[in-house]
Structure 1
C-alpha cells in the first residue's frame, strides 16, 4: 500500500483523515458511512491538510478497531487495520469494505452515508434504497396510489394466464387472482411491477419509467445528434422497441460476394443488445425519481445507463462470471414468465464472452447511483 498516494488524494468520498485517535463512537460513524456507501479508508495520524503527524504505538490497534467494528456497528462488519511507518511516524490505515449487509447503523440507530468528504444521516429515500440493496424491502411490491383494476390491460392479462391454462374471465373473483400473483396489492392497488408490465399506460403514474435513446455522430456527447427518441410503454414493449431502434441506428456496411451479402465489420447479434436492455429495465431502481434509463450510441461504443446500484452481495467482478440477483423480484418473475429472461445469471456473461471473443471492449461500472455498461462497437 502506497500511503503517499492516499494522502495526496486528500479527503474525498473514499478517504478520511484523523489527526488523533478518535473515540469509538466517532470511529463507528466513519465505518458505517463508508460501509453504507462504496467502502473507504480511514487514516489516523494525518491532519485535515494532509500533514503526517503520526500516532503513538501504545496498544494493539488491529484489535481495537476490530472490536469497534463488531461492537459499535449494527450489524457487525470486518475491517482491515494496518500500522504503516511513514517518515519515521506511525499511521494507522483502516480499510472498510463496501458493506454486504446494508444498511449499517450506530448503537443510537443512526444510518449514515458518505457524500463527498463528509458523513451525514441518510434521508428517507436514501435509506429505502439501502434496504432495497439488502433485499429486505422490494419497491416493486408497493401499490400505486389512485390506481386500480381498471388500469390493467385485460387483453394482456388474459394472454399471460392462458400460458398457464388459467381462464382469467372464468375466475369468480379475478381481482383476487391478480392480488395473489402480485399484480394488485391487498387493498387492490396496482403494484409497481404490475403497472410496469401489465398496465395500459405505465407512464401515467410513473412518467420516468422509460428509455431515452440518443445517437451521436462522433465519440462525445457534444457531437451532433443523429437520432433521439423517448421509448415508453410496458417493459417488454420498451425492450422490443429499443432493440429495433438500436438495430436501425447500427451501421452495418457490407458488400456482395457472389450471391451472398458479407458484413465488412463485426456486428453484435440481437441477443447482446436485448440482454443489456432487459438487464437495465428489470434491475433498475424505480424508487429514484427524476431519472430514467439512458442509451447513448457513439461512433465507437454504446452505453447503457440504468438508475440504481448493484445489490449488496454483487460486485462488478462477479458480473462477467454469472450471478443471479433480483432488485425487483416481482418484475423478474413477470419478465421471466414472458420469456424475456432466465434466473440463471447467464445473460451478462454471454455479452462479456461475445465481446471478448471478437476483441471488443466491454466495461461494467457503478457511477454514483447508476450502473453503466459500455460496449465497443
Structure 2
C-alpha cells in the first residue's frame, strides 16, 4: 500500500471493511476486530489511527508486528493468518493489519462469536451463528428436523416411486421397516421427524413449514426492477417440481423474435440454452442457505438479462473462480444426494463449468458474484 492509498482509506472513515484503533489498545480488543472481520468477508485494521481519522502513530514497528501476530495465534480460535505492514504517513508510523475472509468459520475470541455489521461489531445471533457453522461444513441445515412436521406430511406416492427404482416396494413394507428406511436415508431423523431435506424432496406441501423454500419469478418490461411488471409467479412444491416449473415459466416468458433473410428465418434475439437455464435453477435450489428464513430464491427476467438470486454466500473455501474451474461444494448434502439420484444434478462439479462453457461458445459472458448474503448469477439475453 502506498501512503496515498492509506490516506484515502483514512479519509473514507470506518466502514464494514475498515476499523481504526489508536494506540495503546488492549490485545483483547484487537482480537475482537480480527474475529468479526474473519467471520465476514475480511477487512483491514489501522493501528495508530483514532476514530476521527487523526494519526497518533505507533512507537515500535518491530514489536507491534510481533504483537499482532501473537494475538492472531493465541487469542483467536481457530488461529488466523493475518498480515501486518508498517507505513509512514505524515511522520507517523501506521500499522496496517489485513484480516482475510476466514476459511475455518466460525472464529471466536474467548466465548464470543462476533460479526461485522456496518462499522461496528456485535455478537452473532443464534441464526447467524448457525449459518457460520453451516458455511464451515460442521453443520448442515438440511439434516435437521422440521418442527411440528410428521411422517404424515410426506408424499407416500413419491416415496413409492423413488424407492421402486432401487428395488424396494416401499408401500408393502411394514410400518417399522418403512420408518427405518426413511431414517437410514436421512428423510426422517432418528426421532421420526422429517428432515428439512426430506420434506423439500418428498413433502406434500413443504412451504407450509418452510415458507422460505420457494422461487419468486418476475418478468419486467425494461432493464431495471422498477420497470412495468409483465408476469409474476410464486413457485412452490418439492424441489424437483420447483426446478421443472421455473424452467417452464422462463421458457414461456422468453420471446424469440425473428426475421426473414432470403428464404430462411433468422432469430434476432439470443436466448440461453434450456440446459443452462435448468442448471442455474438446480444449483440455486440445491445450494442455497435454507437457514436464511426471510428470503426466497428470486428469478428476475429483464429485456437484456436473467438474474437468479440465491440466499446464502459460498462456503468458506469456495470462490467464484473455483466454481468456474469445477470445484464442487455441498452446503446441503441430503438435497444433493437425492437430486443426484433423481438425475437433476451430479456430484462431479460439472454444473457451473457447463454454464460458463456453453455461454462462452455462444459468445456470451456469465456474471457470478456475491452480494451481501446472496449469490447472483446473471445470464445475458
Q: Is TM (by shorter chain) over 0.5?
A: yes
The gaps in structure 2 that reach 5 residues or longer are: none
CA distance in 2 between partners of 1:234 and 1:257 (Å) = 45
302, 307, 319: which one aligns with 2:306: 302
Establish whether residue 166 from structure 1 lines up as the match of residue 159 from structure 2: no
* 1:248-287 paired onto structure 2 within 5 Å: 248-256=252-260, 261-287=265-291
Alignment correspondent of 1:210: 214
* C-alpha deviation, 1:21, in angstroms: 3.8
CA distance in 2 between partners of 1:141 and 1:40 (Å) = 33
User: With structure 2 as the length reference, what TM-score do the two structures score?
Assistant: 0.95
312, 318, 331: which one aligns with 1:314: 318
Alignment correspondent of 1:100: 103
What do residues 321-360 of structure 1 show as CA deviations (whole Å, max 9, x unaligned)? 1111011110111111111111111111211222333332
SS at match of 1:91: strand
Relative to 1, partners in 2 of residues 1:233 and 1:261: Cα closer, same or farther, differing over 3 Å? farther
Alignment correspondent of 1:30: 33
CA distance in 2 between partners of 1:42 and 1:316 (Å) = 26
Relative to 1, partners in 2 of residues 1:49 and 1:349: Cα closer, same or farther, differing over 3 Å? same
SS at match of 2:62: coil
What do residues 99-119 of structure 1 show as CA deviations (whole Å, max 9, x unaligned)? 01000111x211000000000
Establish whether residue 137 from structure 1 lines up as the match of residue 139 from structure 2: yes
Alignment correspondent of 1:49: 52
Q: Which moved more, 1:42-51 or 1:236-245?
A: 42-51
Alignment correspondent of 2:80: 77
The gaps in structure 1 that reach 5 residues or longer are: none
Alignment correspondent of 2:179: 175
What do residues 76-102 of structure 1 show as CA deviations (whole Å, max 9, x unaligned)? 110011011122221110000000100
Alignment correspondent of 2:224: 220
* C-alpha deviation, 1:31, in angstroms: 0.4
* 1:352-363 paired onto structure 2 within 5 Å: 352-363=356-367
* C-alpha deviation, 1:318, in angstroms: 1.5
What do residues 219-270 of structure 1 show as CA deviations (whole Å, max 9, x unaligned)? 1111100111101111110011000111111121123568864322322111
Relative to 1, partners in 2 of residues 1:92 and 1:190: Cα closer, same or farther, differing over 3 Å? same
Alignment correspondent of 1:117: 119
Q: Which moved more, 1:366-375 or 1:194-203?
A: 366-375
CA distance in 2 between partners of 1:21 and 1:100 (Å) = 30
Establish whether residue 193 from structure 1 lines up as the match of residue 191 from structure 2: no
6, 11, 19: which one aligns with 2:9: 6
- RMSD (CA atoms): 1.5
* C-alpha deviation, 1:196, in angstroms: 0.5
CA distance in 2 between partners of 1:146 and 1:49 (Å) = 52
What do residues 49-85 of structure 1 show as CA deviations (whole Å, max 9, x unaligned)? 2223322235333322111101110001100110111
SS at match of 1:32: helix
CA distance in 1 between partners of 2:235 and 2:100 (Å) = 38
Q: Which moved more, 1:131-140 or 1:55-64?
A: 55-64
* C-alpha deviation, 1:203, in angstroms: 1.3
Q: Which moved more, 1:351-360 or 1:89-98?
A: 351-360
Alignment correspondent of 1:328: 332
What do residues 153-187 of structure 1 show as CA deviations (whole Å, max 9, x unaligned)? 11111111111122212333111101110001111
Query: How many residue pairs are counted as aligned between the two chains?
Result: 376
CA distance in 1 between partners of 2:289 and 2:114 (Å) = 20
CA distance in 1 between partners of 2:147 and 2:239 (Å) = 20
User: With structure 1 as the length reference, what TM-score do the two structures score?
Assistant: 0.96
* 1:238-249 paired onto structure 2 within 5 Å: 238-249=242-253
CA contact (8 A) 2:308 2:376 kept: yes
